[in-house]
A = this chain, B = another copy of it.
Amino acid sequence: MIRFNCDYNEGAHPRILERLVETNFEQTAGYGDDPHCDRARDLIRAACSTPDADVYLLVGGTQTNLTVISAALRPHQGALSAVSGHINVHESGAVEATGHKVLALPSDNGKITAQQVEDAWRAHFEDETQIHMVQPKLVYISHPTEVGTLYTKTELEAIYKVCKERDLYLFIDGARMGYGLTAPGTDLTLKDIAHLCDVFYIGGTKVGALFGEALVILNDELKKDFPYFVKQKGGLLAKGRLLGIQFETLFEDGLYYELGRHANKAAAIIREACEKKGLSFLCPSPTNQQFPILPNEMVEAFRDKYAFADMGKVDEHHRAVRFCTSWCTKLEDAQTLADDILNF
């Protein structure tokens, strides 16, 4: 069985494990107050060109999302999100459990537009019964999105502009950031992103770490007392240095980007085979997740040899699937799948 079912099937890049072994008997303070976390935070601030950013290293994505959103909002406020946004679909109501409504906006490619944000703002603030409705205050987007798509620089600038004008926070979920930053054709760098939002994170869990998300807080309003929230929501790792060591390794010499590029390369092999075969896609994705629409027979034939996600029926004769590559996917495995697609 060759696994294309997700991007967290294996452990971590070997250099991360080496570093954990090397540093194992160092004695350091807990909770992230250690030299490894300090260095990781510095490396990330440097990579972002945001010397004043507050950086927190957290264990996982849902935890990061719920911590940021509950820290940012007052009780009557909600988060605008694409209907397909992770917080709206796949976090078991984590945001609502902290008391906030996710205000879903329609989307057929995982993205939302500046215009949608502006319209949602107007729909609320121009309604005289506004106090009977949840006030939009934060815009949540994913980059890459849950369906592998990417914002362009122009799109992100437009969204951030509306957010600034309308006093909304812009929060970018970067669980798969590494795959987005290194996608062919993207014009958004890490520096761009860090200057076009209020808070975002750089995902480690899905890009070569054992676990970990590096949260970068840019807006001063969101910085105050943030450590309390991390602790209260159960996200303060006692041996915080484990996160520091991982992000040091990922960011000291470009490993993070290298891993991203690798996964995209593997994905491209699969995408190109699909294209050559004349298959269409749910969404055009330049990143590590590919969502081709396959004839039912192909889906059935592939089930024994490959692990992949079934995205559901498209029509009587076709289903959409997700092939997901990662930092750890072997290119020959991608090629095997590509060949099987072409030769089907």
Contacts and interface: CB of A to CB of B under 8 A. Distances in A.
Interface of A: 3, 5-6, 8-12, 14, 17, 20-21, 23-30, 59-67, 70-71, 74-76, 78, 89-94, 96-102, 104, 129, 131-135, 205-206, 210-211, 225, 227-239, 242, 328
A78 B100 contact: no
A131 B227 contact: yes
B14 A225 contact: no
Contacts of A135: 225, 228
Contact of A11 (B23, B100, B210, B328): B23
A87 to B, nearest CB: 10
A92 B131 contact: yes
B97 A233 contact: yes
A129 B99 contact: no
Closest 6 CB pairs of A and B: A63-B234, A76-B228, A11-B24, A92-B232, A93-B134, A96-B101
A318 B57 CA distance: 39
B74 A225 contact: yes
Nearest to A18: B21
Given A59-B59, A60-B237, 5 more contacts: A8-B238, A75-B232, A92-B133, A131-B225, A131-B228
Given A9-B30, A92-B76, A132 B98 contact: no
Nearest to A1: B27
**Copies assembled:** 4
Contact of A234 (B30, B94, B101): B94
A227 B128 CA distance: 12
A70 B30 CA distance: 27
B93 A129 contact: no
Nearest to A130: B228
B6 A24 contact: no
8 contacts: A9-B27, A9-B29, A11-B25, A60-B236, A64-B234, A93-B99, A211-B237, A211-B238
Given A75-B71, A132-B91, A234-B60, A8 B30 contact: yes
Given A211-B239, A238-B206, A232 B76 contact: yes
Given A60-B236, A99-B96, A238-B60, A27 B8 contact: no
